[in-house]
Amino acid sequence: MPATKAKKPTAKTTTKKVAAAKPARKSEKLVSKPLKSTMMQFPLTITQLFLRGAKVNSNSKVITWAPTGSRITTYAQIAENAGRLANALKRLGIKPGDRVATVMWNDDHHMEAYFAIPCMGAVLHPLNLRLFPDQFDYIVKHADDRVIIVHDSLVPLVARSAKALKRVTDVIIVGDGPVDPNMLAVIPAKIHKYAELLAPESSVYKWPTIAEDDAAAVCYTTGTTGDPKGVAYSHRSVYLHSFGAGLGATIPLTEHDTMLPIVPMFHVLAWGLPFGGWSVGADFLMPEKYLQAEPIAAMITQHKPTMSAAVPTIWNDLLRFVDKNKGFDLTSMKFVVCGGSAVPRSLIEGFLKKHGVPIVQGWGMTETSPLCALAHPPRGVTSVKQQIDYRAMTGRVVPGVELRICDDEGTELSWDGKAVGEIEVRGPWITGSYIGVRAPEKFHDGWLRTGDVGTVDPDGFIQITDRSKDVIKSGGEWISSVEVENHLLGAHGVVEAAVVGIPDDRWDERPLACVVLEEGAKTTPAELRRHLEPLIAKWWIPEYWTFIKEVPKTSVGKYDKKVLRARHATGDLKVVSEGKAAKK
């Protein structure tokens, strides 16, 4: 076949090809625009934690301990009862934002309230059952509680405050124990039995969509001066605190763990442990009202929890009990968290060396949800002595919290382990104000002034030397009452020790050591001074001493030093003098 000639491109075709290949004009530039996130707007709420745990860890358990036999409830059953409780509260007229109070022990029913109330949009208010009556009354009225859920054994506390319950419409009694009808008669609210109230309700509740900044719970400070102050925790802050607390660098927990929260659920939401433990599916061992050393030792031996949390007085009592009584085993615990007040070195040594249980000292407060610092030894620490040195410190600032120390003029100080100043913090679970109370002295420049005084080293380890209101200034120099107390607790026969400043004509203030001895102990001030001589500066050693039956404490177990100062001022303490104040 003859070859065919290729067609010449037409002018039209040629023009198109030239146009397609035409380069961009030099004057044209690419415009760079800010890149916006493509992430979903997902609310961080307790509801998300609750529903996830109920579904994914439905078989995890909440064990409520009793000497006659433990009650075991699964996450799935807790979730069903939370639905019934939410329906019942809605029927009683509870609306989003209403406060529902609890006066309860750590048990499965309290867990039901912990989720039902905030997830329905109301506000959980755990009432401190150890408050003085006037403080209890003040808080009930200030929070404007509408419903109170109370354990049958604690009804007398509610009845005692009957005059403060004018806006409370309903009181729900948990348990089947006997209740004095005379007490019920004085309560100006409708009385319901928990089981009967929930029985007709559906376990299915249409949980509403909640804004993450809505209030989920409220707790009140237990300060030793002035009225208690309310702190409202948002859903977002609780959610983030749960995640922050569950990091490997803080309180590492998984569904393989069993948690024993001895710290009361009315004390800063049990340090966030109910929400944090639920979020990972850990089992709970709840002590209910059995908070003495013997039942705690028994429940640990029986159910073998892997971690626990409580104030130092609880661990002191437990250590003395198990050391004197055979048949109890604490070795299941990988660690225990101890906070609320400074942890004595002798207590840390006793648990680690005698029972192989590490104590992790923690620091925080109601205003901080409470997690701020935990005393995990850093990398490279191998010897037991080094471990104890770090565990005896206040703690290392945790991820999610920013911290600084400032002098009296507000100037930020160095993290050199030497500069002493007031500790200030900020972060996503740190409160920015109190409920209905202006406190400019506590909040400034976006930071919370904690009132704790101490140092921070270059690695972020905090050492609190005192509360600002408890520091002892002697001859123009500071004495750390906390450090003196911790060393006294290592002396033979000493059970408790609190050190306060008292007036002195020469030095302005000198330390008064208030000591509690074991029954039968004959330890003298001279022996205690000799014990302190190699441990602290000579001029820190007290020359004034008093022996008392018990150190007065706040409702959450902290030393109430204002009571000791008042007792000294009125001559109620028998003070003896031993030695003289050394020169600096």
Q: What is the CATH number of the domain that holds 539?
A: 3.30.300.30
Provide the sign of the torsion angle of the four alpha carbons 116, 118, 121, 122, taken in this order.
positive
> Which residues share a beta bridge with 284?
62, 259
Q: How many domains does the chain have?
A: 2
Question: Which is the catalytic residue, given 74, 478, 527, 562?
Answer: 478
Question: Which is the catalytic residue, given 353, 354, 469, 473?
Answer: 473
Cα–Cα distances in Å, from 554 out to 101, 117, 225, 340, 448?
Answer: 21, 28, 11, 10, 22
Q: Return the SS3 of 76.
A: helix
Q: What is the CATH number of the domain that holds 151?
A: 3.40.50.12780
Based on the residue annotation, tell me whether 473 is a catalytic residue of this protein: yes
The answer to whether residue 198 sits within a structural domain is: yes
Q: At which of 264, 287, 310 does a domain end?
A: 287
For residues 304 and 302, give the distance between their C-alpha atoms in angstroms, rounded to a whole number.
Answer: 6
Q: Residue 2: what pLDDT? A: 44
Q: Indicate the angle between helix axes 75-91 and 108-119, nearest 10 degrees.
A: 60
Structure token pair of residue 294: 């013997």
The answer to whether residue 314 sits within a structural domain is: no
Based on the residue annotation, tell me whether 367 is a catalytic residue of this protein: yes
Counting Cα atoms < 13 Å in the Cβ hemisphere of 394 gives 28
Helix and strand counts by DSSP (H, E) for the chain:
18, 27
> What burial class does residue 67 get, using C-beta atoms within 10 Å of its C-beta: 0-12 exposed, 13-18 middle, 19+ buried?
exposed
Provide the sign of the torsion angle of the four alpha carbons 182, 187, 191, 195, taken in this order.
negative
Each residue's pLDDT expressed in tens, for the chain with a length of 584 residues: 444 444 444 444 444 444 455 555 555 566 678 888 899 989 999 999 999 999 999 999 999 999 999 999 999 999 999 999 999 999 999 999 999 999 999 999 999 999 999 999 999 999 999 888 999 999 999 999 999 999 999 999 999 999 999 999 999 999 999 999 999 999 999 999 999 999 999 999 999 999 999 999 999 997 556 789 999 999 999 999 999 999 998 999 999 999 999 999 999 999 999 999 999 999 999 999 999 999 999 999 999 999 999 999 899 999 999 999 999 999 999 999 999 888 989 999 999 999 999 999 999 999 999 999 999 999 999 999 999 999 999 999 999 999 999 998 999 999 999 999 999 999 999 999 999 988 888 998 999 999 999 999 999 999 998 887 887 888 777 798 999 999 999 999 999 999 999 998 888 899 999 999 999 999 999 999 999 999 998 999 999 999 999 999 887 878 899 899 999 999 999 999 998 877 66
Q: At which of 263, 287, 311 does a domain end?
A: 287
The pTM assigned to this predicted structure is: 0.84
For residues 32 and 30, give the distance between their C-alpha atoms in angstroms, rounded to a whole number.
Answer: 6
Question: Which is the catalytic residue, given 80, 112, 212, 367?
Answer: 367
Q: Residue 17: what pLDDT? A: 47
Q: SS3 string of 443-506?
A: EECCEEEEEEEEEECCCCEEEEEEECCCCEEECCEEECHHHHHHHHCCCCCEEEEEEEEEEECC
Residue 457 has phi, psi (to 5 degrees) of -90, 175
The answer to whether residue 420 sits within a structural domain is: no
Q: Residue 154: what pLDDT? A: 97
Q: Residue 32: what pLDDT? A: 73
For residues 470 and 448, give the distance between their C-alpha atoms in angstroms, rounded to a whole number.
Answer: 19
For residues 152 and 179, give the distance between their C-alpha atoms in angstroms, rounded to a whole number.
Answer: 6
The answer to whether residue 146 sits within a structural domain is: yes
The answer to whether residue 267 sits within a structural domain is: yes
Range of the domain at 242: 42-287
The answer to whether residue 170 sits within a structural domain is: yes
534 prior amide bond cis, ω within 30 = no
The answer to whether residue 342 sits within a structural domain is: no
Q: Residue 1: what pLDDT? A: 44
Question: Which is the catalytic residue, given 169, 221, 224, 301?
Answer: 221
DSSP assignment of 520-543, as one string? Answer: T----HHHHHHHHTTTS-GGGS-S
Q: At which of 236, 267, 287 does a domain end?
A: 287
Based on the residue annotation, tell me whether 409 is a catalytic residue of this protein: no
Q: Residue 289: what pLDDT? A: 97
224, 560 Cβ separation under 8 angstroms:
yes
Q: Residue 9: what pLDDT? A: 47
Q: Pairing relation of β-strands 402-406 and 335-338?
A: unpaired
The answer to whether residue 584 sits within a structural domain is: no
Q: Which residues contact 237 (CB under 8 A, 6 or more apart)?
A: 216, 369, 428, 429
Q: Pairing relation of β-strands 61-64 and 283-286?
A: parallel
Based on the residue annotation, tell me whether 278 is a catalytic residue of this protein: no
> What burial class does residue 403 get, using C-beta atoms within 10 Å of its C-beta: 0-12 exposed, 13-18 middle, 19+ buried?
buried
